[in-house]
Amino acid sequence: MQSSYQFTAKGNYSLKNVRLETGFEYDHEEVISTKTGLFCIEIEDGKIKSVKPNDANSKAIDAKGKLMLPAFKDMHIHLDKTLYGLPWQALSPKRRSVKDMIAYEQEIIPKLLKTSVERAGQLIDLLQHYGTNFARTHFNIDPTSGLKSLENLEKALENKKDSFKAELVAFPQHGVYYTDSAPLIKEAAQLKSVGFIGGLDPLSIDGNIEKVLDFTVQLALDYNKGIDIHLHETGESGMKAIQYLIDKAIENPDLQGKTFVSHAFALAYLNTKETEEIAEKLAASKVGIASSVPFRGKVMPIPALKKHGVNVLIGNDNVQDYWSTFGSGNMLQKANLIAELYGYSSEFKLSRALEFATQNILPLNDKGEQQWPKSGDAANVVLVDASCSAEAVSRMSNVQALMNEGNFFRKN
């Protein structure tokens, strides 16, 4: 972790003066503020054992009134190929297309792999600095990288095993057939550490939606993996790929809840009726969307997707790399951006926006009833310098401490 963090405790211990949300305060039916109180939290074997009335005189670790929230999760990032830790480098206007970027990667990956363990570690430090203890990370699987990108990423994760966890997506960044990546993807699919089979723009890169997605789906079924496809394509080809995955999930129930479309920019170009129809289909097939919340002229229909029960996951995607320089590593910033884009400015709406940082875990339900933390919950938490969730989202409040499976780290 960054040097500003200090390992504080593990195993069985308690925290006192922990601020938790206890309910909403109303003016008639409008939520006007969030009520909180101070509590003692017992940690045992990586879980929350109990939530008790506060005892300020106990010998427990003092949380000093900081707000406890669920630790944050980044559900779409590329830990394996960041430039973070290297000198600043903006994007080149010479590389305009995905195929341009593939050619560039083929040129630079051999050099980057020499230091990718260290740079992945530095990027994990950055994520943790902002309160993230879990990520879904894609790793390149292609003839240039071979399995080296995966091997280096696993080394970086092993170095952070006490404070950070990840699920891995085998990502054919250079296409499945555009480069000869299919055998490598099949090899990666057989590895226990790999949880998902990825993909990239099957029509514009590989020239055939059905061939690529059939290959991906069959691998997922054969080796009991999830699916997470990068889909930047818009218009007819983008929607056809989304519908094809929906159909496959309906045909194969084992894929439901484990199939995701990352980016899915095609959804941002639909009219209201089309959006409602595809949202219903995504929800019925349990196909999720993983978004980095882009807004370059088009805004993703996240509220409509959520309304219909689609599982929407959020991530930073690129953090200072040669694809984009705008990822900050801060999931509270993502929640803040969503709140601003969709007009979530009230106390209630801001508090709900926290779910985009925690991936659907909220301290209070919509009725203001306390639902987190409770006995048996995983001890994955942050202590934040904020009075409530709404303030944390609106002000992107500083994270003061991070707990991963009961391992407690605190800023000096």
Domain CATH for 219: 3.20.20.140
Q: Are residues 154 and 209 in the same domain?
A: yes
The per-residue pLDDT for 1 is: 44
| CA quadruple 91, 107, 195, 121: dihedral sign | negative
- The answer as to whether 355 is a domain residue is no
Q: Are residues 315 and 374 in the same domain?
A: no
Q: Are residues 58 and 117 in the same domain?
A: no
Helices 148-159 and 116-129, axial angle in degrees (round to 10)? 50
The per-residue pLDDT for 269 is: 95
Q: Are residues 205 and 320 in the same domain?
A: yes
The per-residue pLDDT for 323 is: 80
Q: Report the CATH number at residue 13.
A: 2.30.40.10
Q: How far apart are CA 379 and CA 70, in angstroms?
A: 9
As a whole number, mean pLDDT of residues 103-118 equals: 93
Q: Are residues 264 and 280 in the same domain?
A: yes
Domain extent at residue 59 = 5-65+360-411
Q: Which residue has the tokens 């170095």?
A: 159
**Could you tell me which of 85, 75, 96, 88 has the C-alpha nearest to residue 323?**
96
As a whole number, mean pLDDT of residues 96-106 equals: 87
Residue ending a domain, among 309, 329, 349, is 329
Q: Are residues 9 and 154 in the same domain?
A: no
Q: Are residues 94 and 21 in the same domain?
A: no
Q: Are residues 314 and 387 in the same domain?
A: no
Q: Are residues 60 and 87 in the same domain?
A: no
* pLDDT-based confidence at residue 91 (cuts at 50, 70, 90): confident
Percentage of residues of the chain with pLDDT beyond 70: 99
Q: Are residues 90 and 60 in the same domain?
A: no
Check: CB of residue 151 under 8 Å from CB of residue 188. no
Q: What is the pLDDT of residues 287-315, one digit of tens each?
A: 999 998 876 678 999 999 999 999 999 99
Check: CB of residue 121 under 8 Å from CB of residue 391. no
Q: Are residues 108 and 79 in the same domain?
A: yes
Peptide bond into 172 cis (omega under 30): no
Per the structure, the count of domains in the chain is 2
The per-residue pLDDT for 3 is: 45
Chain-centroid distance of CA 157 in Å reads 16
Q: Are residues 292 and 215 in the same domain?
A: yes
Between 92-96, 120-124, 156-160, the lowest mean confidence (pLDDT) is in 92-96
Phi, psi (deg, nearest 5) at residue 365: -80, 180
Residue ending a domain, among 308, 329, 350, is 329
Residue ending a domain, among 307, 329, 351, is 329
